[in-house]
Homo-oligomer: A and B are copies of this chain.
């Protein structure tokens, strides 16, 4: 299939084309530029909802329940499960995918796991690119699920319009959420397993933290929704709160601001990648490594090294 054909089929929402397009993203294929240019006019419509939280909190179950609820009202739903394998851990396990099988025969649902390797310090550009594909393919809502390990749970807020942070009762989760700095990026909290002991305490703790972090009446104050995702309890309320947040984002202009920042970072990531490639073309693949070694050893300074890279572009 040529790229133009792939674009056309992706825009029609053909699941095999969508899967193929995301594979091109994962492999950083040379056709990416043409693919993204073809998809661009149809992007910006999907609502991007990030879900994060520590392992065992019920992210997969919650995602699945959310898919069911959104499907009931006719939304087409894309799910991107991002594995934030870091250079440190070499691979974190994502939650149980089994429940996702519930949606295996539903053509209005597209589910994809994706490894997010790439540069130190966060999810790579693969995530925003994959979200672009799902957006252009006409999904009304795209859920991005990531396991909450440090950096990743903060990073997901950079890719989503709305960030949902999941907690579960016990184990000082509330305290953990506050300390990990997740409070600042959460637009909505879910206390899942709300039928377990200690759920009320967790809600209370979260409520207190949210009220302390309150930044004035005009701003969004993250609601706290109690759910039992396994039975669907509370999911309807979760959908309502997500709708409210989307309305808030749109009416306040924050949606545009978030998407602007995202686009800017995406552009700059591509520029930096192109730059690395060109330097490799001009100076050989070891050039940047050599420069970095020189700077690390004190033989060179970072500004002169940067000048060398920039000069490579001006040939």
A74 CB–B CB distance under 8 Å? no
- Given A301-B37, A306-B267, does the pair A152, B181 have CB atoms closer than 8 Å? yes
Q: What residues of B have a CB within 8 angstroms of the CB of A36 in the complex? A: 301-303
Stretch among A14-22, A94-102, A221-229, A256-264 lining the B interface: A256-264
Which one, B158, B179, B180, B302, contacts A121 given CB within 8 A?
B158
- A143-182 vs B, Cβ < 8 Å mask (1 yes, 0 no): 0000011111111001000000000000110011001111
Chain B residues within an 8 Å CB radius of A184:
86, 88-89, 150
Which residues of B are found within 8 Å of A40, using beta-carbon distances? 295, 298-301
- The interface centre, meaning the residue of A180, A184, A275 with most chain B CB atoms within 10 A of its CB, is A180
A305, B172: Cα distance in complex, Å: 45
Given the known interface contacts A44-B298, A172-B171, A300-B40, the answer about A155 and B260 at a Cβ–Cβ threshold of 8 Å is no
B268 adjacent to A304 (CB under 8 Å): no
Q: Does A72 contact B (CB under 8 A)?
A: no
Q: Cβ of A4 < 8 Å from any Cβ of B?
A: no
Which partner residue on chain B sits nearest A306 by CB separation? B270
Contact call B33/A303, Cβ cutoff below 8 A: yes
Q: Which of B39, B42, B150, B310 contacts A274 (CB 8 A)?
A: B310
Contact among B185, B262, B305, B313 with A267 in the assembled complex (CB-CB below 8 Å): B305
A contacts, CB < 8 Å to B: 32-33, 36-37, 39-44, 54, 86, 88-89, 120-122, 148-155, 158, 171-172, 175-176, 179-182, 184-185, 256, 259-268, 270-272, 274-275, 288-289, 291-293, 295-306, 309-310, 313-314
| 10 closest A-B pairs by CB | A150-B181, A172-B172, A40-B301, A88-B184, A263-B295, A270-B306, A33-B303, A264-B292, A259-B296, A149-B181
